Amino acid sequence: MTIEASKIATEEVLPKYTKNEHNTPKHDKLEGYEFYRSIGSPKYVVAPMVDQSELAWRLLSKSPLPPSMAGPSETIITPTGKKITRHAGGTHVSYTPMIHAKVFMEAKGAETGKRGDGQFNLTYDEEGGEGIVAGIEGGDRPVFAQFCANDPEILLAAAQKLEHRVDAVDINFGCPQGIAKRGHYGSFLQDEWDLVYKLINTLHVNLKVPVTAKFRIFPSLTKTLAYAKMMEEAGAQILTCHGRTREMKGQFTGLADWEMIKKVKEHVNVPVFANGNILYYEDVERCLEQTGCDGVMTAEGNLSNPAIFLPPSHPHFHPPITVLANRYIDIVSSLKSHTAGSAIKAHMFRMLKPILDTNEELRIKIAQCPYSEEMTEFKELIKGIEQRLEPIVKEAGPSFKPPPIDPKTGYRSLPIFCAQPQIRAKPISTEIGGTEEFVNNDENLKPSTQSGTCLFDRSLRHEKINNKNKVEKCINEECGGVAAIRCPTKACIIHCRINKAIESGLTEEEAKIEFEKNGLIGLGCESHEEKEKLRKERLDRKRKNKAEFRAKNKHRKKNENQIIKARSRSLSLSENENEN
């Protein structure tokens, strides 16, 4: 910290809160590390993810490989005598998607039907179920249900509806999105410490299971530490620290600050999960080591590779995407509980992304794939992808092993059949941590070059991807258009077609005249024409949808007009009656 920054930090005014004098829980329950050990001292954690950490996904993440590939599972007995089953590469604990406490309380038809409560299915013994669920030993446990709320009483009532089915209840103080701002929850409670304290404390005192909290850091270290301590005092038994500030979202996401997480971990006495910057298994181990945290939570890394916790020594390290997708679909179809279509498709897109990136047609097929009880259509689709990938799998050979991470780039280069993280292009300028050091010291506005820090290798990672994403200009110098990556003539579509026409014997003049007349449609290279065809199809679909919408609307309007007319007619009739 610079002198200037430390002066600001010590003079900082922290939000006030009132402590509860009668802080003893009404029920016997384990606290802090005792609780942590009672659920098997989990190190590998799947994050709460709206519409994405649903039951089927949690089960896949707990047991990502089919038994024939996974190898033996492990059973551990915790100090409280609880039996816990762990599968190769599986998560040790998962969080449910965020449940909106008020919406959950007001849900109609709760506890009935396939959909249960919509956000947590109490109908079947599957969500939060122990034993075997969808054929997976150990079921959905341990699991933490996450809520968002701003009213302690509503939160308590909602949490009490499902506390018998989960190991802990978590409160989301990290959501930075517009919807959280409007709804007044998530990270927008960051400056209302009295309310944050009450939300946690109400559950701590009244709930039968422990309460935990997930939060984002502040730019100020002092404030972050005081905030974490306040949550611990309120009764949070595990804290998850997401090493990004509230402002670090969307294009400003940038890197999570592991240094800050480390300081939080040192400052409190309850277990801490670190969250942010996990792309590979190696990052998980590095994060545990560098932050000293008790567990590592991952969201995006888990979505693109649900077997992210599989160690490099496992024979199926970075397993085939089709194996994972198949297993997920099998789980969805064997559950009695409903899995939202939006969740299924989003998972398919994320898992299969390596091949979809080069195949627009497949993407459309997934988007349009119908659902059925047996999910046969999805299984067919995956089978097709498997066949498409076969030559690449063959080329890699039966003894293929993923290479180590390239120390220069920070990335592991993998063939497209392997599950792998999604690398996003981000401007270097957002690669700034959230600490005062980085905000107040101009030198640090540049990526750190200190070898070994996470800032160092990540900034290199992004540099590489930025270069890769640089667009190439059309070969025709006056054009200024963008060349297609796979166009053999390195031209824009216009010049690609004109070049082909010249190749086929026309003079340049003639080719241009022909282009003016008919656009030389279909004459470009394969890549250009394929792209153009898909663009046309997309446009046609859009147009068709619009036309259908208009037609329906017209029909509706006509109906409405008739109703209005009929109503006014009957009105004038009754008025006439009155006159009589």
Ligand X SMILES: Cc1cc2nc3c(=O)[nH]c(=O)nc-3n(C[C@H](O)[C@H](O)[C@H](O)COP(=O)(O)O)c2cc1C
Using the rule CB under 6 A, is 276 a contact of ligand X? yes
Residue 525 bears catalytic tag: no
| CB of 222 or CB of 275, closer to ligand X | 275
**Minimum distance between the CB of residue 468 and ligand X, rounded to whole angstroms?**
21
Q: Kindly tell me which of 97 and 295 has the beta carbon lying closer to ligand X.
A: 97
Q: Which of the listed partners (ligand X, Zn ion, none) does 243 bind, with a CB threshold of 5 to 8 Å by partner kind?
A: none
> By CB under 6 A, what part of segment 187-246 binds ligand X?
214, 242
For residue 230, give both structure tokens. Answer: 């306040």
Distance of alpha carbon 228 from the chain centroid: 24
> What's the CA gap between 290 and 254, in Å, rounded?
19
Least distance CB 399 / ligand X (angstroms):
32
SS3 of 67-135: the string is: HHHHCCCEEEECCCCCEEEECCCCCCEEECCCEEHHHHHHCCCCCCCCCCCCCCCCCCCCCCCCCEECC
Instruction: Tally Cβ neighbours within 10 Å of residue 476.
Output: 18
Footprint on residues 75-94 left by ligand X (CB under 6 A): none
Based on CB atoms, which residue is closest to ligand X, 42 or 524?
A: 42
Q: Which stretch binds ligand X (CB under 6 A): 193-201, 222-230, 292-300, 464-472?
A: 292-300
**Cβ nearer to Zn ion, comparing 351 with 474:** 474
Q: Is 275 in the site for ligand X (CB under 6 A)?
A: yes
Q: Write out the two tokens for 353.
A: 């992304």
Q: Count the helix, strand and coil residues of the chain and give each as a percent rounded to the nearest 5.
A: 50, 10, 40
Question: What is the closest distance, in whole angstroms, from the C-beta atom of residue 276 to ligand X in the complex?
Answer: 5
Q: Are the C-beta atoms of 57 and 91 separated by less than 8 Å?
A: no
Q: Say which of 148, 175, 474, 492 is annotated catalytic.
A: 175
Q: Nearest-CA neighbor of 277 among 290, 267, 268?
A: 290
Shortest distance in whole angstroms from residue 465 CB to Zn ion: 24
User: Taking CB under 6 A as the rule, does residue 306 contact ligand X?
Assistant: no
Please write down the HEC assignment for all residues of 504-537: CCCCHHHHHHHHHHHCCCCCCCHHHHHHHHHHHH
User: Which range, of 45-53, 381-389, 516-524, 565-573, touches ligand X by CB under 6 A?
Assistant: 45-53
**Which of 59, 60, 93, 98 forms a contact with ligand X (CB under 6 A)?**
98
Query: 1 near 436, Cβ under 8 Å?
Result: yes
Residue 462 DSSP code: H
Whichever of 249 and 267 has its CB closer to ligand X, that residue is 249
- Of 40, 152, 174, 271, the one binding ligand X by CB under 6 A: 174
Give whichever of 67 and 481 is closer to Zn ion, judged by the CB atom: 481
Contacts with ligand X in 129-148 (CB under 6 A)? 146
Q: By C-alpha distance, which of 121, 140, 145 is closest to 62?
A: 140
Taking contact as CB under 6 A, which single stretch among the options 84-92, 118-126, 297-305, 411-419 is the one that binds ligand X? 297-305
The piece of 29-37, 44-52, 74-82, 109-117 that touches ligand X (CB under 6 A) is: 44-52
In angstroms, the CA 19 to CA 21 distance is 6
If one asks whether residue 319 binds ligand X (CB under 6 A), the answer comes out as: no
Report residue 238: phi and psi, to 5°. -140, 140
Q: At its nearest, how many Å lie between ligand X and the CB of residue 287?
A: 10
Binding span for ligand X by CB under 6 A among 133-141, 172-180, 193-201, 496-504: 172-180
Residue 172 vs residues 71, 144, 164, 175: alpha-carbon distances, Å: 36, 12, 20, 7
CA 485 to chain centre: 29
Q: Which is nearer to Zn ion, 72 or 480 (CB)?
A: 480
Binding site partner of 214, from Zn ion, ligand X, none, Cβ cut-off 5-8 A by kind: ligand X
- Go through 320-334 and write b for each residue having 16 or more CB atoms within 10 A of its CB, e for each that does not: bbbbbbbbbbbbbbb
- Looking at the Cβ atoms of 172 and 326, the one nearer to ligand X is 172
Residue 53 C-beta: closest distance to ligand X, Å: 7
- Alpha helices, H only, 207-257: 221-234
Instruction: For residue 410, give the 3-state DSSP assignment.
Output: coil
CB atoms within 10 A of CB 10: 8
172 binds ligand X (CB under 6 A): yes
Q: Which does 175 bind (CB under 5 to 8 A by kind): Zn ion, ligand X, none?
A: ligand X
Catalytic residues: 175
Residues that bind ligand X (CB under 6 A): 47-50, 52, 97-98, 146, 172, 174-175, 214, 242, 275-276, 278, 298-301
